[in-house]
Structure 1
């Protein structure tokens, strides 16, 4: 490849990539169920949570499990949109690398610790000598 061809390829890539980072920055994912709606950004960080009266009547462990599940679902949706945004720009090899490392789907519900465990006591091994 000559220098002129490399410069032309670089210009073409810059044109295809124009505005991609702005589009990626604006991507969000949403998931809703049981009166709960979670919105996350492309990083998977929660940016909004809406809880209906129905959601507030759920037991705390069930509410926490649903929030976790919906957050993972919304993050997966945002990631899929991000990959779709990058697809025309990234090219086949880079896109294959990005999609090959997708995390496994979250479990349906998070296990809840037994209610009788009390971790409030200070253990002797935790004290300085």
Structure 2
């Protein structure tokens, strides 16, 4: 079994499903009951509860039960690990592309550059 601790894998897995993304999108507008989240989705209430468990396990959603109503809230801090991972990937790729650009500039033939300038 994979160990997801310390990586954004659980979050990316949770967001890979369009129904879970729809639930997260709905929760960006404020808290909602499980029934409210289920209403627009083409699935049973039990399936919605399973999807919410995935979102809860990865830290994106928290819920509280008052009486018979379970209300779900978005946890923006749950996105922090993914943001940090994506930021690191972006920085790494920008650095790689900068090094590639510098290497290509070094290897460019200066005689070829002057020939092209004469033609312009």
Please tell me the TM-score bracket, short chain as reference: under 0.3
Which structure has the larger Rg?
Answer: 2
Q: Provide TM-score, normalisation by structure 1.
A: 0.26
Normalized per residue, which structure has more helix? Answer: 2
